[in-house]
Structure 1
């Protein structure tokens, strides 16, 4: 076993191995959809799950259980055992070779309880818990998935996974992981059917743009578009029933149909724009992240695990974010969200092909991803629900975005945690603005995670 030191604990890893499907699978080429192979999705995304000891599982090795379940599951999800190739005009295709996915078994001399009272990203020692096998992180010609199961002294374990994002979005990842957990608990097959059918999300025969898509606007850089990486700090903010109720009181009665995601999007976008001291005349951009499966006519079939993300843009001057009521921002967000329908998605897919799969505009942009509905924390391999389950990173998309993460506090109450990363001076302003919005009497909790 390979040994590596991470300050107060040691991780010992076995030699990485390739896990292939337990039975023969088709050898074929499977093109990705025209949403899957966009430039901005060509990266590896890590997720992590922390599990406490379960006495009834004391004689079971989680690595063995998950390794065996993975081989069985890959019979159904066999494209994951293949490799990506790039065809004409940059089109991505999965060559279903059955080579397998990378798997690492490891041990760490640490207990879950030692990782801190609250387990939330960023995880300072992620590289120890999800070892970057040499040559495994490429988009093409590399394993499409890497899993590391690290057993802990207490009898708990950490499950970490890295997936090539071109293969699936957050909903697809959650579907795969829930299926893996079902197989680990003894199910002979996944309860939700696995649906490939990427041809449903290809551009039309005559691609045409019929809707406005600010996602790909060409925006000139300005002096205020880049956030300095100097002196960056992390804080996690918690929004429970009390905080959400206070924020809802800012919104007029006729707008009360908004979602929690829309409310927190408006609040965090406003506070972040103020914290960065944006020029009042600058046009700011909020990028919505919407699961568009139900936007198509007919809806995509249950079990479709490819990327199906819409990200319409909300535009506002910094001045309007500073000075107008929060309800105004929520109206902008709700209106942009309502634009997403079947024709919008078809137009969006066509545009990506016409423009050669460009990256979305990141200048003056803020991206908020809602992970509360993915329920990664409820994934049960046989050891119960996770103490933490979800993204392994605190920020997404080059630091311009954050996640809404489901969280259960010590009293068993459901909350939403939002890890934020900003330069220290900006963080001080952000805290002040958020505290002012919460009327300074809610004792909003700020936390720098220990792990």
Structure 2
């Protein structure tokens, strides 16, 4: 699914800094974890809201702007600036300088946006203005918000987040705090907790993770990776599609396989078949797993909003992946998830410290796909008083990664999966997907 972006214009006010809504918040230097330090890039998020007649006379821009200032009293590190200490270890200086906020208006109704609200959101640059000098990681605002009013009374909230500060669930926690305050609460129902030392390396470090086989970096792989003719599409998986996928599984897997395992196995298998790689090439799928909860004995406290995930991964030769039924691939995904434990999480952090970013380079050579599950992050439930967003999640997708989002389209609840592939591969991928889901 993809559709052209409608033509419209956006008028923006000058960017402003939103500071915590008290005269002074704690001025301290807080260390980020090693897990945080590996994510030195910004991530975008977008939320689309329809008009709510019961909110007539209330301005979403002013409501969200005021609530942000009050929420930053509790989340004051987000109003600071990042710096580096010894060994390039990241620290946040809680200066209270604030986050960037842009007020805007678009001469378009929500209904006119159509399917362009779903990734790839072709108009995202209009909804999130790249304020000059703000796009860095160090010594820059850690958050950029743009709230755009629509002529129908709806609005759009677009955000750029410095990933070192939060993962998806952690940032969703902050957004829900802002929403609660916008709706009249005096304080967030879940108070933030720092505790970044939970995801620091051990002393001495110890790696016990499995090593993944290197793929063949052949000329065919280079040609696909360097392709400039890219295609971007979103695919919707409703109960009908999940039922069709589950029908491919043997009886012992049908009732114990989650939707995430089913979808991840399907996408990995179909994408690999579409790429047309050599039978003995190696491909890899990786996926972040949230360490919150007690299932990994990490004891991450309620309110922790830092990066609390570990990357699970599994590799396979192309012929094994393509020639075997879907149940075989599901078993691989399940085995990768089953490895997760407190020791796995600690070992993952230790490996990042010892090897830096070399693992990312290795993954890229193996034609990897990283698939993140955002269906439980709660971006689709952030209610500033106007109701839940029509769509809340990532606006963009790039080659080699995707994120699942919950979505209600045409009155049906489902999972949205944006995909980026070379145009020559996308049609084959679509055909492979049809075979699996019909």
Match for residue 367 of structure 1 among 366, 370, 381: 370
Gaps of 5+ in 1: 1-5, 440-451
- Partner SS state of residue 403, structure 2: strand
TM-score w.r.t. the length of structure 1 is 0.91
- Partner SS state of residue 429, structure 1: helix
* Aligned-residue offset at 1:375: 2.4
Q: How does 1:109-128 map to 2 (within 5 A)?
A: 109-117=107-115, 119-128=117-126
Aligned to 2:157: 159
Gaps of 5+ in 2: none
Q: Deviations over 1:389-418 (max 9, x none)?
A: 1112133xxx201121211121x2211121
* Aligned-residue offset at 1:121: 0.9
Is structure 2 residue 418 aligned with structure 1 residue 419?
yes
Contact 2:128–2:159, Cα closer than 8 Å, also in 1: yes
Residues 387 and 250 of structure 1: CA distance in aligned 2, closer, same or farther (over 3 Å) = same
Q: Deviations over 1:134-188 (max 9, x none)?
A: 0000000000000000011001100011100010111111111111111111111
Cα-Cα RMSD? 1.6
* Aligned-residue offset at 1:205: 2.1
TM-score w.r.t. the length of structure 2 is 0.94
Aligned to 2:279: 280
Is structure 2 residue 382 aligned with structure 1 residue 379?
yes
Distance in 1 (alpha carbons) for counterparts of 2:356 and 2:86? 12
Q: How many residues align?
A: 426
Distance in 1 (alpha carbons) for counterparts of 2:382 and 2:276? 40
Aligned to 1:81: 79
Residues 394 and 356 of structure 1: CA distance in aligned 2, closer, same or farther (over 3 Å) = closer
Q: How does 1:293-372 map to 2 (within 5 A)?
A: 293-294=292-293, 295-358=295-358, 360=360, 361-363=363-365, 364-372=367-375
Q: How does 1:10-25 map to 2 (within 5 A)?
A: 10-23=9-22, 24-25=24-25
Distance in 1 (alpha carbons) for counterparts of 2:429 and 2:298? 43
- Partner SS state of residue 166, structure 1: coil
Contact 2:372–2:403, Cα closer than 8 Å, also in 1: yes
Contact 1:279–1:318, Cα closer than 8 Å, also in 2: yes
Aligned to 1:444: none
Match for residue 134 of structure 2 among 133, 136, 145: 136
* Aligned-residue offset at 1:223: 2.3
Distance in 2 (alpha carbons) for counterparts of 1:7 and 1:264? 31
Aligned to 1:221: 217
Residues 211 and 231 of structure 1: CA distance in aligned 2, closer, same or farther (over 3 Å) = closer
Aligned to 1:42: 40
Distance in 1 (alpha carbons) for counterparts of 2:280 and 2:114? 43
* Aligned-residue offset at 1:54: 0.8
Q: Deviations over 1:192-248 (max 9, x none)?
A: 12111101211112111133254xx76663324342433222222111111111110
Distance in 1 (alpha carbons) for counterparts of 2:354 and 2:214? 15
Contact 1:369–1:404, Cα closer than 8 Å, also in 2: yes
Q: Deviations over 1:274-295 (max 9, x none)?
A: 1111111001111122112235
Contact 1:233–1:424, Cα closer than 8 Å, also in 2: yes
| Greater helix share, structure number | 2
